[in-house]
Structure 1
Amino acid sequence: MLDKTYESANAAVADIPESASIAVGGFGLSGNPNVLIQALLETGVGDLKVVSNNCGTDDHGLGILLRSGRISKMTSSYVGENKEFARRYLSGELELELTPQGTLAEKLRAGGAGIAAFYTRTGVGTQVADGGLPQRYGPDGAIVQASVPKDQRDFAPGGEPGTFVLEEAIVTDYALVHAAYGDRHGNLVFNKAARQFSPVAAMAGRICIAQVEHLVEPGELDPDAIHLPGVFVHRVVEVGPDIEKPIEKLTVQSAGAASNDAPFAKEG
């Protein structure tokens, strides 16, 4: 089926079951698939295992699923600006697999590329490699689950010897991403920071669902401008350009600090 469009976000996520694993694009609040996340919230499913760089904020992005108790495990690189995330983790309500940011991106990309595992220097000499990172706490604050040691080997790429740690690829049941442009075949174009994790999250999902601001016909996108080919995308929902795009942190430069007069804002 070449036409992968769905009439609504609710229809696109309707078959996501209880306890599903889901890779979600976004970087901070940039590129969060908020319409799909809201539709998933409305389904009522829970015990979700989510892989994403972070968990949004208390009131935006994945934070609304977390606040409703729908997420049982997060695999992410940092807790970020979400106080509820920290509270649930420290109280034992949420399992957390902390993963270095670049390693997380590569684990997702590897999953989509059919690579079972890879060795990296990142994390060597730390609990990431040696084990012992708290993954779940008990109500009394004691560690009830910790990460296990990972395989480590010595290699000499380019003639430079070093120790490397084995990281396994990530493959999830579903993926949710937001794109600026998409066509009916699923080819996607992302906007700026939204390109950080969205393509690799999409690749890792066995079923990828994309919300797009602008839906165009096949052939309208410049092939050289496509960031993710439609072979990785299974469902497309047009949400329009006027959706809410929350800003996690607004930073305004002082006069004369840069040649650009416009303030810098990190947004989707």
Structure 2
Amino acid sequence: MNARATRAPAAQLAYVLHHYDWSESSLILDLFTREQGRLAVVAKGAKRPYSQLRAVLLPFQRIQVSLSKPSKGDGGPEVQTLRGAEWASTHAMPAGAALFSGYYLNELLLKLLARQDPHPQLFDAYAQTLPLLHASEDAQSQAALRAFELRLLNDSGLLPDLSVVTPTQLPLELERSYVLTAESGVVPPSHAGAHFKGAELIQLQAALLHGSVEALQQACMGALPALKTALRGLLHYHLGHKPLRTRGVMLDVQKLLA
């Protein structure tokens, strides 16, 4: 492999998914970048009161970062050093239920994406989803969440082809009902549950292949209740013993408010 292929880009778009204390003055960031996927990055001096990075390294804000070449230590994962960061765009921070939804997206990325595995289409979907998260949890927000879950599962290789019956690979019938399960994929229903019309699943698959975030969100809008149940089952299955903390916290808050 030549040196040019392994060199980190001089500057790249990124979002801060999470941060950890590294020392009294520094942080380790988990960044989601468009060119390199998830990265572990040391932000030296970022906790100091006069650091210019403090106002930039915020969640849900698109930034442009410059990184050092990666280095390995003690056989652990490659860690790069943050050389600089600046705003690439600014959006109002999510509030209320939208804030939980934003952290939910971040947690999904942290738990389902491997490091150093680029997913530029998923990065673009994340950027387009954040502004659509509303505190009212309206249909647009729900469609945006379901579309992102579908894109994440698809790009991670965890989603079956939605246009065929998984065991036989035969095309779906437009008016027939089907279910989507983690164990069997797309199959005719054998019990009560979240059913989809064949036409709905075919439309979702077409939108995934097209790559348009807006088209996928529109396709989700027509099947929101069934999608929420089916995708929750798929995510729970593939997360295994890594339960989502944000979902648990959100449910606890809802109980308190009730």
Q: Same fold (TM over 0.5)?
A: no
> Which protein is richer in strand relative to its size?
1
Higher relative contact order (CA 8 A, sep 6+): 1
Q: TM-score, normalised by structure 1?
A: 0.23
Q: TM-score, normalised by structure 2?
A: 0.23
> Which protein is richer in helix relative to its size?
2
